[in-house]
């Protein structure tokens, strides 16, 4: 039950981070969109390539730092895990749930069913991933998170050793 609550809180944090990224409107998160949408927004003068790149860089640095830090706190401090195997398995669970949550809840449901994400002047361009695209991307990321979980597991063990 505790893990389920933690997973829900982690996904809520993920949602909060996305909401933070677009706090000034969908245009703030243009880097989430497919290239044709980005190119149209640039073409019609809504934004520059440099602005997209800067917002992406700034957000992604913050996003990865926050999500990694919270994951380390959950596994290492809240769950008091100090073995690599258990830390690895918990990290893998959190990262995989986050991965599929992003594809299904964020991309397909929230972005796919909210007018908030429509950028004026790009209405004719598809910006919501198809189910086929979601499945392909999430399967690839699932493989990447197998390695990512090992990094998190290693960090949890190192931190637990340093805190003893």
Res 164 pLDDT > 90: no
Task: Read off the pLDDT band of 118 (50, 70, 90).
Answer: very high
Closest CA to 93 of 20, 141, 16, 149: 149
Q: How much is the average pLDDT of 135-158? A: 98
What's the domain range around 103?
2-163
- pTM score: 0.95
* Separation CA 79–CA 100 (nearest Å): 23
Q: What is the pLDDT of residue 26?
A: 97
Q: How much is the average pLDDT of 135-139? A: 98
* Separation CA 20–CA 84 (nearest Å): 33
Res 116 pLDDT > 90: yes
In sequence order, what are the residues at sequence separation of 6 or more whose Cβ sits closer than 8 angstroms to the Cβ of residue 123? none
pLDDT 10s digits, 31-51: 999 999 999 999 999 999 999
Q: How much is the average pLDDT of 142-156? A: 98
Task: Read off the pLDDT band of 162 (50, 70, 90).
Answer: very high
Q: What is the pLDDT of residue 91?
A: 98
Residue with tokens 């609550």: 5
Domain count for the chain? 1
Distances (CA, A) of 101 to 36, 88, 144: 25, 20, 16
| Whole-number CA gyration radius for the chain | 18
- Proportion of the chain above pLDDT 70, given as a percent: 100
Residue with tokens 């703030």: 28
Task: Read off the pLDDT band of 143 (50, 70, 90).
Answer: very high
| Count of other CB atoms within 10 angstroms of residue 76 | 21
Terminal Cα distance for the chain, rounded: 28
């Amino acid at each position: 039950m505790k893990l389920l609550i933690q997973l829900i809180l982690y996904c809520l944090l993920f949602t909060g981070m996305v909401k933070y990224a677009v706090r000034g409107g969908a245009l703030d998160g243009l880097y989430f969109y497919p290239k044709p949408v980005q190119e149209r927004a640039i073409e019609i003068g809504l934004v520059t390539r440099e602005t997209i790149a800067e917002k992406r860089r700034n957000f992604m640095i913050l996003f990865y730092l926050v999500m990694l830090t919270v994951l380390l706190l959950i596994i290492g401090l809240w769950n008091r895990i100090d073995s690599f195997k258990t830390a690895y398995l918990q990290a893998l669970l959190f990262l995989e749930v986050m991965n599929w949550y992003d594809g299904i809840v964020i991309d397909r449901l929230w972005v796919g069913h909210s007018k908030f994400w429509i950028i004026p002047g790009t209405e004719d361009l598809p910006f919501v991933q198809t189910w086929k695209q979601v499945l392909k991307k999430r399967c690839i990321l699932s493989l990447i998170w197998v390695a990512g979980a090992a990094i998190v597991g290693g960090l949890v063990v190192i931190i637990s050793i340093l805190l003893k």
